Amino acid sequence: MASSYLFLFLCLFLFFPQLYASFSSSGSHSCSSLIQFKNSFSTNQTNAAYLSCDDQSYPKTDSWKEGTDCCSWDGVTCDHLNAHVIALDLSCSSLYGNFPSNTTLFLLPHLQKLNLAYNDFNLSKIPSEFGQFTSLFYFNLSHTGFAGEVPSQVSHLSKLVSLDLSGIEEQLTIDKYALEGLVHNLTEVRHLFLDGINMSSVNAHVFMNLSSSLRSLSLAGCDLQGKFPKNIFDLPNLNLLNLRRNQLSGQIPRSLGNLLQLTHLDLSWNRLSGQIPRSLGNLLQLTHLDLSENQLRGQIPRSLGNLLQLTHLDLSWNRLSGQIPISLGSLLQLTHLDLSWNRLSGQIPRSLGNLLQLTQLDLSENQLSGQIPRSLGNHLQLTVLDLSGNQLSGQIPLSILNLTQLEYLRIAENALEGSIPDEFFTGLKSLESLDLSCNKIEGKIPQWMQEVGNVSLTYFNVSHNSLTEVEHFPWKNIESLDLSSNLISGNLPIPASTINVFFISNNSFNGEVSSLICNASSLRILDLSHNNLSGTIPQCFGNLSNSLQFLNLKKNKFYGTIPPTFAEGCQLTNFNLNGNLLEGPLTPSILNCNDLEVLDLGNNKINDTFPHWLGSLPYLQVLVLKSNLMHGSLRVNSSKSSPFFSKIQIFDLSNNYFSGPLPVRYINSFKAIINLEKIGSTVSYMGVNDDGGDFYTYSIGIVMKGQDRELVKIFTMWMIIDLSNNQFEGGIPEVFGKLNLLKGLNLSHNNLNGGIPTSVGNLKSLEWLDLSSNRLSGTIPNRLADLPFLSSFNVSGNQLHGHIPQGKQFNTFGNDSYQGNKGLCGFPVSKGCNIIEPPPPNVLEKDGSKSNITFGWKVVLIGYGCGVVFGMSVGYVVFQTGKPKWLVNLVEIQHEKKRRRKSKDGSRSNGRRRI
């Protein structure tokens, strides 16, 4: 064959010498065009943004040298007959720069194949001149960073067999006419990839006339709208249909079951409803079926058990109910099975144990019950197993410990009981993440557990169980360890120095905290709260604060002083020493913690004056000093106008010995409570960055409406001032009336005198007001009746007189609110005023207004069970969509749902939560 071509060549050159001339000139002409094309771009890999070619990228054009025959260049193919460049494959070549619309590439009219995929043309427009390549049958511009409209001239390429313009969502758009042109003209096309091109302006019916020879149609992330079109995609030769991440609604048409050649069907991330048609069970060639993230209902059709070629089945995030069909146990090729986040019930069928090829099995967040079948131990290939969020009971089957490939094991939030088996198992050597939280597991974490992922384990969560003892936890590379809410006693174990996040709260750990813990130089979150730890706080915590962001020692028995020195560059944002026996003092070195948002020193024995210098911490939102021995006046000596507490939202100095007048100077500068712009902003929680990144929740004990409450999250809209139980004297200054975002004001049990300023009537957000046990005189301003949310009001134990305001909220307050004010008259006190009283309000009205008040209050209280852990893990959790792995590890579990919902590109990692 080759020799006969050679013969032909020789003959041609012998008999037609002018042809040789034309060959060489055409050839060198092409070569110089290519060189010019190459020179339009840099190949600086750090600039090219679209290089995800599995690290296969390299600049092919670097080997192109002038003066050599371009037909031998990397990526270039010539027609041997006349040396025309007929194919150019520069995919994954790190080309970066604007794509010139007059590029010399267009001087290669004989191109039949052109692949420029995975380069970065810097949001250039696709030149319409591409329409001149009329010989082109393969055209690939996927992930090239082109932007703007797809030119209609692409439809001139009527010989195209394969067209790939897919890319990052929304960078390219195509209008109805250009798309109609494509569908109409590309009669030969077999592979059409238009993923990510914005088609929101077109109706899916445009695809009505697609060539029946089509094999692949991929329209993922095209923003296609409207009902899923019936019969449109009924192309008999179709192998691949990908409509992932569109806005298609309505039912999945039964007729899809006629596409007998389909191997890949992806309708995920749409709004499809109704049932999964049984007819999908006809698609016997199917290897990949993804219907996840829709609103599909009803049972999983048994017929799916016919799809014997299936390797990937994802029905997660729907509303599927009923049992998992036993027939799925026939899908012996399955490597990936995800049925999570549905409403599936009944037992996990033992037949799933037949699926020996499985590497990922996710049945989490359903209503599955019964025991975990022992047969799951057959899946020796499993790397990911997630059964959490069900109602599984019984013991953890020993067979699971045989899964030597397992990297991610999660059985949290079930009703598993019994103890962690006290035997030695050699399996689970590769485990990276283990979550057994929220079960009823008891006994100890046995010594042998050190063999579990000894080197690999980075995340371990056994919180919310009934464990009593930790024998050992020496995991070498542990980053996140959560033992909280168990019954564990004994000395505080010191984790490996790799630890980032360490929770042992709500246990019975006792003894002193060894300063060895300060070797954990990457520790960011340390929560030792609610234990019986005693002794002094290791002084080295002050140095640790270079990494430490969250330090919670609440409710222990620490005594002595607060660590005196906080290092420069201190990262602390949340520092909680509440409920210990500390004598203080707090030193100004805490100002090194510039980012401090929450400081809670309440319920200690700090005998000191008010640390006024805290006022210069620029982000301090919560200051709790309540129930200490603090004394002295809050009068500010300096008249400097430097900002004081300008971000403060919760200011609690209650139960101390502060004296002198109320701190007008501070109240004037509580800008966060005064700021009008904040009104009506959506409810968010403290600690949320502007970019929605980090998410810290704080737990703060606060007296609300006369009752002790533990706030797990602090809404940014919660503005509370509590100065009660002190020795403040003098009048209530008018300036309180400026705090228009204030929700709660408690000035009770002081020596305040004078009248209640009418300006209090400006506090339109106020929900509770306690002025009781002072020496206030005068009348209750009628304007208070206009406070729309006021639901708790107490002025008892004063010397007020005159009419009690009537109507609205005041109809809901009882006698208690007014006791001990001999001069008050009118409803609800028994003493009448000397006028005709309005009739007492009827019950309905009363109830109505009460429920109005409480509406909008979602007090998140501590002590909730595990079922609602989602979204608010015990008061100290971080939500993080971005990078640092230590955060992701911690939060991924609780917030997986949100993350998946939010994740725009939808590239969730198939049950594998590691990033």
Ligand X SMILES: *[C@@H]1O[C@H](CO)[C@@H](O)[C@H](O)[C@H]1NC(C)=O
Binding positions for ligand X, rule: CB under 6 A: 36, 44, 46-47, 91, 97-98, 100, 102, 104, 115, 117-118, 122, 140, 142, 152, 155-156, 158, 162, 164, 181, 184-185, 191, 193, 377, 398-399, 402, 607, 629, 657
| Residues 6+ away with beta carbon under 8 Å from 279 | 254, 255, 256, 257, 258, 303
Nearer to ligand X, 123 or 308 (CB): 123
Nearer to ligand X, 167 or 875 (CB): 167
Q: Which strands form 440-445's sheet, in the order they lie side by side?
A: 321-323, 343-347, 367-371, 391-394, 415-419, 440-445, 466-470
DSSP 161: S
Nearer to ligand X, 46 or 707 (CB): 46
Q: In the bound complex, what is the minimum distance in angstroms from residue 45's beta carbon to ligand X?
A: 8
Q: In the bound complex, what is the minimum distance in angstroms from residue 192's beta carbon to ligand X?
A: 8
Three-state DSSP class for residue 792: strand
- CA geometry: angle 433, 434, 436, nearest 5 deg: 155
| Residues 6+ away with beta carbon under 8 Å from 885 | 479, 914, 915
Which residue(s) pair with 904 in the sheet? Answer: none
Which residue(s) pair with 539 in the sheet? Answer: none
Q: In the bound complex, what is the minimum distance in angstroms from residue 805's beta carbon to ligand X?
A: 39
CA-based nearest residue to 361, from 398, 394, 315:
315
Sign of the Cα torsion 673, 676, 678, 680 reads positive
Angstrom distances, CA of residue 329 to CA of 190, 289, 305, 332, 584: 35, 16, 7, 7, 64
DSSP 845: H
Nearer to ligand X, 96 or 670 (CB): 96
In order, the DSSP letters of 31-60 are: HHHHHHHHHTSB--TTT-S---STT----G
Closest residue to ligand X in the complex (CB): 181
Nearer to ligand X, 54 or 677 (CB): 54
Task: Look up residue 164 and give its two tokens.
Answer: 């790939």
Q: In the bound complex, what is the minimum distance in angstroms from residue 162's beta carbon to ligand X?
A: 5
Nearer to ligand X, 151 or 757 (CB): 151
Q: In the bound complex, what is the minimum distance in angstroms from residue 116's beta carbon to ligand X?
A: 9
Nearer to ligand X, 350 or 764 (CB): 350
Nearer to ligand X, 28 or 740 (CB): 28
Nearer to ligand X, 629 or 859 (CB): 629
Q: In the bound complex, what is the minimum distance in angstroms from residue 910's beta carbon to ligand X?
A: 20
Nearer to ligand X, 395 or 759 (CB): 395
Sign of the Cα torsion 324, 325, 329, 331 reads negative
- CA pair distance 915, 105, nearest whole angstrom: 40
Q: In the bound complex, what is the minimum distance in angstroms from residue 90's beta carbon to ligand X?
A: 10
- CA geometry: angle 301, 307, 308, nearest 5 deg: 140
Q: In the bound complex, what is the minimum distance in angstroms from residue 74's beta carbon to ligand X?
A: 14
Q: In the bound complex, what is the minimum distance in angstroms from residue 122's beta carbon to ligand X?
A: 4
Q: In the bound complex, what is the minimum distance in angstroms from residue 672's beta carbon to ligand X?
A: 31
Nearer to ligand X, 118 or 793 (CB): 118
CA-based nearest residue to 412, from 388, 385, 431, 386:
388
Nearer to ligand X, 375 or 531 (CB): 375
Q: In the bound complex, what is the minimum distance in angstroms from residue 50's beta carbon to ligand X?
A: 10
Cβ proximity of 373 and 351 under 8 Å:
no
Cβ proximity of 734 and 761 under 8 Å:
no
Q: In the bound complex, what is the minimum distance in angstroms from residue 584's beta carbon to ligand X?
A: 10
Task: Look up residue 779 and give its two tokens.
Answer: 């009348």
Cα atoms in the Cβ-side hemisphere of radius 13 Å centred on 728: 30
Q: In the bound complex, what is the minimum distance in angstroms from residue 384's beta carbon to ligand X?
A: 19
CA 699 to chain centre: 20
- CA pair distance 260, 414, nearest whole angstrom: 41
Q: In the bound complex, what is the minimum distance in angstroms from residue 585's beta carbon to ligand X?
A: 11
Strands (E), 653-740: 657-661, 700-704, 707-711, 720-722, 727-730
Nearer to ligand X, 383 or 627 (CB): 627
Torsion of CA 815, 818, 822, 825, to 10 degrees: -70
Three-state DSSP class for residue 869: coil
Burial 871-900 (b: 16+ CB within 10 A, else e): ebbbbbbbbbbeeebbbbbbbbbbbbbebb
Nearer to ligand X, 32 or 258 (CB): 32
